[in-house]
Amino acid sequence: MSGNQDFNSTPPVQHFSKRDGWLGAIIWASVIVLAVLAVVAVSLSMPLAPRAILVLLYVGTAAFALWVWYFTGYRVQDGTLLVRSGPFKWRVPLDGIREVAPSRSWRSSPACSLDRLEIKHPGGSILVSPADKDRFMDDLALRSPGLVRAGDRLTRD
Instruction: Identify which of 7-16, 39-48, 117-126 has the greatest average pLDDT.
Output: 117-126
Averaged pLDDT, 112-117: 96
pLDDT at 90 > cutoff 60: yes
Global pTM? 0.84
Return d(Cα 118, Cα 103) in angstroms, integer: 6
How many angstroms separate the Cα of 20 from the Cα of each of 9, 61, 66? 33, 20, 14
> pLDDT > 70: what percent of the chain?
94
pLDDT at 96 > cutoff 90: yes
**pLDDT for position 51:** 93
How would you label 75-84 residue by residue, b for 16+ Cβ within 10 Å and e otherwise?
Answer: ebbeebbbbb
pLDDT at 1 > cutoff 50: no
**pLDDT for position 9:** 60
Dump pLDDT digits (tens) for 14-35. Answer: 999 999 999 999 999 999 999 9
**pLDDT for position 157:** 83
pLDDT at 111 > cutoff 50: yes
Dump pLDDT digits (tens) for 41-60. Answer: 999 888 999 999 999 999 99
The CATH class that applies to domain 13-19+73-156 reads: mainly beta
pLDDT at 4 > cutoff 50: no
- For residue 98, which of 78, 71, 118, 69 has the smallest C-alpha distance? 118
- For residue 122, which of 102, 154, 94, 89 has the smallest C-alpha distance? 94
